[in-house]
Structure 1
Amino acid sequence: MARHQEQQYLDLVEHVLRNGDKRIDRTGVGTLASFGAMMRFDMSDGTFPVYTTKRVYWKTAVKEMLWFLTGQTNIRSLLTDNVRIWTDWPLDKYRKATGRTISQQDFEARILADENFALEWGDLGPVYGKQWRRWVGPNGQEYDQISAVIDTLRSNPSSRRMLFHAWNVADLDKMALNPCHNFYQFFASGIGEREGGSAPRLSLMVGTRSNDLGLGNPFNVCQQAALLAMVAQQVDMVPHELIWVGGDVHLYLNHIELAETILKREPRPFPKLRLVRRPDSIDDYRIEDFEVTGYDPHPAIEAPVAV
């Protein structure tokens, strides 16, 4: 029997839990951390790597990826789509700046109701989407890294330069959170088989400088798999491998119980993903385009986000 692909994740969680270096981190929560990891997920049969040892809210993860692709940086559009995963950072900034103890619910309600308030307090700075779609060069010219990758995949799929990243050194101090998943590189294989009727295969490697294994990693792997599926469709290829590479991989000390719980659970089959239509461009995907079947995870586990 083939080894379940999720076991890679569980092995990594167990390794960090048993052998991680205990340290105080930027958030003050503290972590167990290890350095250097890799996981490979084969998507060639339609598999969608959404972990099953705890429920992953895959729609929320994919909506975040779709938001990145818009190039937007304000949480207002996320909240409109019922995605709250970025609220903690501007809320923390607002509380510290004003001294007010506003609840998250009230803060989000005001962001949605008051456009001027959202402009002042809801922006995250030049985070992921800004760098992916509107990287500003020294001459003031904007560069759309995503479009450039897709163009190269169509015109020169054997290129070794099909990548984009978000680590813009000049903008780091303006960001609510420095990029964690900061390097994406594509690789097309079977290019010469196109003439024989077989579609080339597209793989994606994502480099992650810092990864919260309890909450961040399940979201990231899911949404990066969705990105691979979208780009492959746009360039007439089929998804092959999602390769995840981690630098500082860690468990927050208040996620230890989460880790111990999932390690006691048996992984269940990954679901399948089908894109129900082919949009005109990478900019036109909607959450309704993602049909996920066969997802039967263990129950969700609530855990706090470290800000």
Structure 2
Amino acid sequence: MSYADHLFIKMCQDILDHGVSTEGEKVRPHWEDGASAYTIKNFGVVNRYDLSREFPAITLRRTALKSCMDEILWIWQKKSNNIHELHSHVWDEWADKNGSIGKAYGYQLGVKHQYKEGMMDQVDRVLYDLKHNPYSRRIMTNIYVHQDLHEMALYPCAYSMTFNVTKDPDSEKLVLNAVLNQRSQDILTANNWNVCQYAILLMMFAQVCDMKPGTLLHVIADAHIYDRHIPIVKELIARPTYDAPTVKLNPDVKDFYQFTRDDLIVENYVTGPQVKNIPIAV
């Protein structure tokens, strides 16, 4: 199996076996029929993926990797908060009549801030530091901006990235690592989607900064499985698994702002059947 399968199965089984139920508590999410959406949850789940060994896509079912890249480019490259600039429909339920999700996600990454070196947004600040001061311990982003929360259609779930550069003794190239912090995650619908998104982001940043992709550390404060997802998860983690796919980027792209989803190359991705009609709590 892929290592991502191993971690996913282990994480899900641990939540099923030892998770705390929120049933009967006052919870915000609800199902389409109006019923409260309860969860079983674990606090403080930490998963580590070594991108130098394999790409962290699960094979239990297919993760739409091109769509993952499209959404991460929507947030980090286009710095957009309008779903009309996104090819998928995962954000439709949170958008207003004009397609906006408010001052969330890409909006925050596009806000320019004053630094000693000049005005930059958070993405350009990361790229600047990786190229000019790679051993800095201050290379990070944050989109959980309290003053703007009231103008966000959805509070950011994956809210912070911290980048850290190391060096292998037998290589001239530096290694780019990152920590993804997430306050909350719907494990069935979003876990591998987010892992693959930020793995691709790390790969893109490494390529344009002439580095090698290293470790993606994923920290989830509230890792949960919704009550109506439990039978789906049990069936999913009992499936056969396969080897991880080969995932690469077009090596000719040297500017982060020139990447498109067509620059993602996916080979030998063998998976189980897709899980359809998953109920979504909102």
Fold shared, TM-score > 0.5 on shorter chain: yes
What's 1:66 paired with? 73
**Alpha-carbon distance between aligned partners in 2 of 1:209 and 1:142, rounded to the nearest angstrom:** 29
- Bigger drift between 244-253 and 22-31 goes to 22-31
**Alpha-carbon distance between aligned partners in 1 of 2:119 and 2:107, rounded to the nearest angstrom:** 10
**Alpha-carbon distance between aligned partners in 2 of 1:88 and 1:58, rounded to the nearest angstrom:** 22
**Alpha-carbon distance between aligned partners in 1 of 2:119 and 2:131, rounded to the nearest angstrom:** 22
SS state of the match for residue 236, structure 1? coil
Q: 1:266 and 2:240 equivalent? A: yes
Using the TM superposition, give the Cα deviation of residue 143 of structure 1 relative to its aligned residue in structure 2, in angstroms. 4.5
Using the TM superposition, give the Cα deviation of residue 276 of structure 1 relative to its aligned residue in structure 2, in angstroms. 1.4
What's 1:205 paired with? 179
**Alpha-carbon distance between aligned partners in 1 of 2:83 and 2:7, rounded to the nearest angstrom:** 33
User: Aligned letter for 2:272?
Assistant: H
1:35-73 CA distance string (max 9 Å, x none) = 00111111114x221111111111111111010021111
What's 2:57 paired with? 50
Of residues 242, 255, 268 in structure 1, which corresponds to 2:229? 255
Note the 1:215-254 alignment, pairs <5 A.
215-254=189-228
**Alpha-carbon distance between aligned partners in 2 of 1:135 and 1:306, rounded to the nearest angstrom:** 34
**Alpha-carbon distance between aligned partners in 2 of 1:71 and 1:4, rounded to the nearest angstrom:** 31
Q: 1:85 and 2:90 equivalent? A: yes
What's 1:305 paired with? 280
Q: Would you say the 8 A contact 1:50–1:222 is kept in 2?
A: yes
What's 2:29 paired with? 27
- Bigger drift between 68-77 and 19-28 goes to 19-28
What's 1:167 paired with? 144
SS state of the match for residue 259, structure 1? helix
User: Aligned letter for 2:237?
Assistant: L
What's 1:97 paired with? none
What's 1:152 paired with? 129
User: Between Structure 1 and Structure 2, how many residues are aligned?
Assistant: 268
Of residues 56, 70, 84 in structure 2, which corresponds to 1:76? 84
**Alpha-carbon distance between aligned partners in 1 of 2:113 and 2:200, rounded to the nearest angstrom:** 26
Of residues 102, 105, 109 in structure 2, which corresponds to 1:128? 105
SS state of the match for residue 6, structure 1? helix
Of residues 249, 254, 263 in structure 2, which corresponds to 1:289? 263
Q: Would you say the 8 A contact 1:49–1:270 is kept in 2?
A: yes
TM (norm. structure 2) is 0.89
Q: 1:39 to 1:185 in 2, by over 3 A?
A: same
Q: Would you say the 8 A contact 1:134–1:142 is kept in 2?
A: no
Query: Percent same amino acid at aligned positions?
Result: 29
Segments of structure 1 that go 5 or more residues without pairing to the other structure are 94-119
Using the TM superposition, give the Cα deviation of residue 306 of structure 1 relative to its aligned residue in structure 2, in angstroms. 1.4
Runs of 4+ in 1 over 6 A off after TM superposition: none
TM (norm. structure 1) is 0.82
Q: Would you say the 8 A contact 1:4–1:267 is kept in 2?
A: no
Q: CA RMSD in A?
A: 2.0
SS state of the match for residue 278, structure 1? coil
Q: Would you say the 8 A contact 1:125–1:175 is kept in 2?
A: yes
Which structure carries more helix by proportion?
1
Q: 1:279 and 2:253 equivalent? A: yes
Using the TM superposition, give the Cα deviation of residue 133 of structure 1 relative to its aligned residue in structure 2, in angstroms. 2.2
Using the TM superposition, give the Cα deviation of residue 16 of structure 1 relative to its aligned residue in structure 2, in angstroms. 1.1
Q: Would you say the 8 A contact 2:47–2:218 is kept in 1?
A: yes
